[in-house]
Structure 1
């Protein structure tokens, strides 16, 4: 069985949702026969490549909030990541920017059998460490840490056309499937789940897909990040 996950490393609910899906998959009896593929979805495709801005300032501008209110929004998401999933999440010093180069490298990593390794390293660098993956030098270092060849990584970063078609194809497919927010999970191309659902929801969905049953309704939308870059924020 194949599970495809559309996500973006700039999306906090993708970071949280990946951890929840992993727990749901671990509880699935046939987990060893599930292939997981990560697909590209840019939260902010219109932002300039190579540029980045502090997350708190971006949130304040996007939502029309004060900087203090934006910090509070980040703290709510961070609390969910830390308490519910045991994930490290820093709220100060993080950047937000264009993720096109990251997605191109994720396709290179997929071709080398290292896609999940790079995704995990990129998530960790973006949310847990004092490193901006929107800096090409930092991104290259993260990719090498994931096991990719440095010369090959730098060649891809230098050539904006490398793996660009694969990224655009993923994004087009997401649009055709009706995905307007991420994370978005598709099980065997017949069951879609939107948002960072609880782990047990993923387990049930995997069981339904495995048994070949047609679910009456897809799981309701949960915490997710939209194509405009906006992310749902849990209430206190």
Structure 2
């Protein structure tokens, strides 16, 4: 069985959702027979590649929030991350265009090191003081993930390298109706939207394995924590899954 995950390194719910999915997968009896494939999705594709800035300042400017409100939003996300055993810095993080990260991810996929690279990139972006929008940092992460340094540098230096692969993933996401991430597609039968609880992912895997036709799991995308194409990352309301 194949599970495809559309995500963006800039998305905190992708970071949290990946951890929750992996916990759900670990509880699935047929976990060793599941192939996981990561797909590209840019939350802010129109942003210039060199345009980076502080994430709290971005929230203030983009959504008209006060700095205190923006920090409170970040604290809510941090609480969810910490509940999954993940590190999360609410201040001092960069935000920018993720196209180069996605291109490097496709190199890692071709070399069988994609999951390793994504784990390192998520941790660098959300838990450590390392900017994933800097090429030198990306090269360091690639080497840590087991990739060849010269090859990683070559991909980052060539703006066309793996660009078609990123665009193909994004077109496919649009065709599937995905307008936010994380978005999980199980055996091309149905999708699971947002950073759902681990138990729900286990249920989804079990039902997909049985091959039953079911309704969308976990309700609509609005019911679960996710980031959408305008760059907003919502925290679910009281009574919803977090």
Instruction: Place the TM-score, normalised by the shorter chain, in its bin.
Output: over 0.9
Instruction: Indicate whether 1:165 and 2:167 are aligned.
Output: no
Question: 2:79 maps to which residue?
Answer: 79
**Runs (4+) off by over 2 Å:** 216-219, 233-236
Residue in 1 aligned with 2:208? 209
Quick one: distance in 2 between partners of 1:191 and 1:25?
Answer: 17
**Structure 1, gaps ≥5 residues long:** none
RMSD of aligned Cα (Å): 1.0
Change (3 A) 1:235 1:67: farther
Deviation of the 1:72 alpha carbon: 1.1
Other-structure match for 1:40: 40
Segments of structure 2 that go 5 or more residues without pairing to the other structure are none
Give the Cα separation in 2 of the matches to 1:235 and 1:214. 29
Give the 5 Å matches for 1:42-191: 42-82=42-82, 84-191=83-190
Q: Hey, what does 1:10 align to over in structure 2? A: 10
Secondary structure at the residue paired with 1:3? strand
Query: Secondary structure of 2:3's partner?
Result: strand
TM superposition score normalised by structure 1: 0.97
Inter-partner Cα distance in structure 1 for 2:11 and 2:215 = 29
CA deviation string 1:162-199 (max 9, x = no partner): 00000000000000000000000000001100000001
Contact preservation (8 Å) 2:192, 2:216: no
Q: Distance in 1 between matches of 2:126 and 2:48?
A: 21
**How far did residue 110 of structure 1 move?**
0.3
2:205 and 2:236 map into 1 onto residues whose CA distance is 26
Helix, strand or coil for the counterpart of 1:228? coil
Conservation of the 8 A alpha-carbon contact between 2:191 and 2:216: no
CA drift at 1:51:
2.4
Cα distance per residue 1:21-53 (max 9 Å; x no partner): 001000100000000000000011111112211
Task: Name 1:224's counterpart in structure 2.
Answer: 226
Q: How far 1:86 moved relative to its partner? A: 1.1
